[in-house]
Amino acid sequence: MRKLYLVAALLSLSFCAWAQDLTLSDGKVRVALAPDAALTELRSLATGHNYVGGGGLWRMFYNTLKEKEIQISAEEQEPLVREEGGRILVDYPTLRCRGQELAISLHLSIWLEDGKVRFASALENHEPHTVVRELHYPLVADLDLPAGYKLLTTHTGGQLFDDPVETIVSRGNKFPYMTPAQKFRQYDVQYPRNLAANCFAFVGEQDGLYFGSHDETFQETWHGLRVYPDAEGRFNRLEAGFYKYPNCLTGGSWSNDTQLVQPYQGDWRETSRIYRSWADSWWDHRGAARWVQDMTGWQRVIFKHQYGEYLQKYTDMPGRVKAAGEAAGVNTLMLFGWWRDGMDHGNPDYYPDESQGGEAGLKAAIAGFRQGDGRVILYFNGRLIDRESSFYRSGQGSEVCNHDNFGAEYTEHYKFTGEGTFLGYHDTRTFVVADTRSAVWRERLSQMADQAISYGVDAVFYDQLGAAEEFPQWDRSGEFPVPNVYSGRDKSQILKSLRDQIKAVNPEIGLGTEWLSDCTSQYCDFVHIVEFTALPESFPEWFRYTFPEVIFTDRCVRDDTDIERRVGNTLLKGLRNDVEVYRCRGILSDTPHYQAYLAQVNAIRHAWPELLLRGRFTYTEGFTCGNAAIVARSYQAGERMAVVATTYADRAAGRITAPGYKLVDIRTIGGKAFSRGNAARLALGQYDIAVLIFEKQP
């Protein structure tokens, strides 16, 4: 067999001596491969721009019993390249590494589909005592971007960076002792964990280059963003692609056909349309409960902390806690630390606190808060098991928790402090991480839903179920341990089951989780986001535009500073307010400026909930703005449109016009706005807000 492989390789060398690049074109894009399978052309036929400068199309990593990471590079190989049936096929009957032939085969195919360049791969591993861990494919090396292109990722729902190379280099320097930084700099982004969707793009004002992994298995996918040094050692050679994790043991095979790259015409919204067009094939969002749609946000409050301190009591819930929120137009409470052991302690043994009246006392407090239009969301953790809990000590915890590649239990430590130093540094809680595939754990989560419903709450919240597992279960039954790279899919499945269970009882009971990811948020009424949404690079507009039906929050407004900018950002972009005063140890009345300003913002939301809470986020569609210093976003519902405008400059004046509409109402926070028929003249100071209501004319 090895002799046949050698003959094939020699024939390939002879063929390469005279062969030309193989080219595919569909009138929108042209792609070409050299005889050595280097990608030499990826050209938008609309602009004429070729995005690539040549280079290897893939790389692979495998393990032996003695070495954990060995790289196989495309440049070392002698491929068989041919065109067949409108596809370019690249075959490697064997692979070479460090001068040795490996019984690992790789088969690649490339084809075009309505302007999309599609990439498929398949491999077989017959090399004894090895495991193929990673396949980086496709790789677009020496990426040549037109001037002005920005990097768009879906981190935290969207982030937009002005300088792609500088961004990757700076993030690649974050852990200087952990990486081979002399070889490349890498931006670490992975779906479905810190990325909300499985795509990224380089975007210009009128065109761009989209990368998508349209993979319905929701398996772990790394978005490959690297910068390599040039001959002088300057880090400026950009590479982009996708990394998958076959974990293919000896005798195994693996395949994937989900990757694509597409030059497109239009602004960044075209990337949303491309992704949503694919997502519609599996998307299963059924619309949030009406009260969730009208929810402006919540107070997220810890009642008892993990080390025993009572920050609030059950009896405070219908009294001062509710009053603090109502004064700001926030009628919802996300109830943390309500159980006997306190927040982040005792999971998953959630027993009402007997010292506060037990179950009867909790039910009474919830009922009191819900009088009028109050809403209560009850917290549970969806994955952490306290090693001090009776569940863990019974033996079940160890059975259902994730174990690492050596068989040890993963642990997490939550280092909350009181006013001293010993507690947070030494005496912290230790948790193991549940495998959400476990039938025992799924039943436990189901029981939590029944428990919450029995208390009369409005929604059930499962913390940390919205993204792929950072500490997945490893299967150690084979020659090499293999991690579960489908934990995002597993969490998606359990959220679907919980949604169906809860909605069968009452469709108006909500379900929420933490971490924003498309594969899990499709089953939720609301999502509690993890990181900041008001950074300079924050662009949650991407997810809001792509999945406008998903309701998610801001985060990290924890004190009484920088309120106008951060709260104004939530009104501008349609985010609900996560009110976590002093890291959930306080309530809104403890931050009077935050409370007063949020009251002004929510008064506007309550004036037009059909637009600002239930309307479709449409970015800048339906209007024009005459001053780039004014940032404005639109919301549409039926025949009406709302435009929210602000400025980050010291001051800005300009005209907003909505052709085909009539301006029917104006509301401002600071600044001034004057009606001019179908337009408004704005004069805004820094962070002032104007909300304009338009009505479509016949």
For residue 316, give Cα distances in angstroms to 312, 329, 339, 364, 567: 6, 18, 15, 11, 26
Question: Is residue 497 helix, strand or coil?
Answer: helix
Query: pLDDT tens digit string along 328-361?
Result: 999 999 999 999 999 999 999 999 999 999 999 9
Q: Is the peptide bond before 348 cis (omega within 30 degrees of 0)?
A: yes
In the chain the domains, ranked by start, together with CATH numbers, are: 2-279 (2.70.98), 297-385+438-473+485-607 (3.20.20.80), 616-696 (2.60.40.1180)
Q: Grade residue 53 by pLDDT with cuts at 50, 70 and 90.
A: confident
- As to burial, measured by CB atoms within 10 angstroms (0-12 exposed, 13-18 middle, 19+ buried), residue 304 is buried
Q: Which residues pair with 265 in a beta bridge?
A: 207
**Which band of pLDDT confidence, cut at 50, 70 and 90, is reported for residue 428?**
confident
CA distances from 690 to 553, 554, 684 (A): 21, 20, 8
Task: Record the tokens describing residue 59, joined without a space.
Answer: 């790389």
Tell me the pLDDT band of 564, cut-offs 50, 70 and 90.
very high
Give the three-class secondary structure for 564. helix
Find where tokens 């019993």 sit.
Answer: 65
Of 363, 359, 370, the C-alpha closest to 318 is 370
Give the span between the Cα atoms of 64 and 677, in whole angstroms: 73
Q: What is the DSSP letter of 76?
A: G
Phi, then psi, of 303 in degrees rounded to 5: -85, -45
- C-alpha 354: how far from its chain's center? 39
The answer to whether 582 and 559 have CB atoms below 8 angstroms apart is yes
Residues 87, 92, 93: CA angle, nearest 5 degrees = 120
For residue 671, which of 641, 611, 630, 621 has the smallest C-alpha distance?
630
The predicted model scores a pTM of: 0.95
Q: Are 297 and 580 in contact (CB under 8 A)?
A: no
Proportion of the chain above pLDDT 70, given as a percent: 97
CA 667 to chain CA mean position, Å: 33
pLDDT of residue 6: 41
| pLDDT tens, position by position, 294-329 | 999 999 999 999 999 999 999 999 999 999 999 999
What's the distance, Cα to Cα, between the start and end of the chain in Å?
A: 76
Tell me how far CA of residue 33 lies from CA of 20, 83, 684, in angstroms: 9, 10, 54
Helix runs in 121-209, H state only: 164-172
- At residue 152, the pLDDT reads 98
> Residue 477: CB partners within 8 Å, gap ≥ 6?
none
Query: Distance (Å, rounded) from C-alpha 696 to C-alpha 678?
Result: 10
- Asked if the model's pLDDT at residue 624 lies above 60, the reply is yes
pLDDT digit string (tens) for 453-487? 999 999 999 999 999 999 999 999 999 999 999 99
536 preceded by a cis bond (ω within 30 of 0): no
Q: Partners of 684 in the beta sheet?
A: 652
Tens digits of residue pLDDT in 132-148: 999 999 999 999 999 99
Q: What angle do CA 184, 189, 191 make, to 5 degrees?
A: 140
C-alpha–C-alpha distance, residues 499 and 523, integer Å: 6
Local confidence band at 19 (pLDDT 50, 70, 90 cut-offs): low
Q: Does 517 score more than 50 pLDDT?
A: yes
Confidence check: pLDDT of 183 > 50:
yes
Q: What is the pLDDT of residue 630?
A: 98
